[in-house]
Structure 1
Amino acid sequence: MTTGKDWTNSSLGERLTWAMSRKRFGTNELGEAAGITGGGVSKLADRTEVVAGHAATLFKLANALDVSPGWLAFGTGQPLDESAKPPWERAADLCREAGVPEEAIQSALDEVVSSDTEMPVLVWIDRMRLKAAEIRAARPLM
């Protein structure tokens, strides 16, 4: 996701606050998702330095917020690097946005074999859409 903003001179607090609002997380919710205290998140959100915090903590926060660890830690690049996600995750995100039922997405992902992991995003989307059609067809009409 490109925000159009140059984050290079932003503080850790600015980046963390932006990412939290994007996910609609408060400090306690983020702390719980990242496995740290809400108070710890609050302290980091108040930081005005460009680079601050321990690497392990920032990595946990970035994972919980679905943002790039490099962006959160240093303000480099953009918050989300979609190309860094595996194709099946990008396909699942796109299918969710398009309204494909979660059951169909998970069913397609459950059938993955190791040779499938390099398939392009569009192939994954087709698989997930086919699963959705199979699930609809298997349900009794009311």
Structure 2
Amino acid sequence: MVGKTRPRGLLADPLRPLPRSAVTRLLVAALLGGTQAAVLDDPDLRELLLPIIRNDYRLIDRYRRSTDAPRLRADLLALTGDRDPQVTVEQARGWAATTDGAFSLHVLAGDHFYLVPAAAEVARLTASVYPSTAGNT
């Protein structure tokens, strides 16, 4: 399953490094509306979460797949929201070029955080593409 918004070559302009205040504003903005403002209003939680979130963004911005890396041989499932401001359906479809295995793209209703209301559908799709992992913990 794809866990990054765009395949290599389709990366948006980096948003980071940002100061803590900018990361906090970004998280509560409509662009990434999945983080509840109340969580970030708590100073202890904010201090706990912001380093983790900043490191996630650092990885997203800095990772580049080597141009001579072989294509994947695994089946690949790409999921995206139909109103995701971070990635278009066409950009998500670009993941097909990274694998020699089967590729499937599913567009779910929602924005960047479509996973939250669609958790059951995501689990069903994942189990249908990767049946040997269904039920394993």
> TM bucket by the smaller chain?
0.3 to 0.5
Q: Bigger relative contact order, structure 1 or 2, given CA contacts below 8 A and separation 6+?
A: 2
Structure label with greater radius of gyration = 1
TM-score of the pair, normalised by structure 1: 0.34
TM-score of the pair, normalised by structure 2: 0.35
Higher strand share: 2
Higher helix share: 1
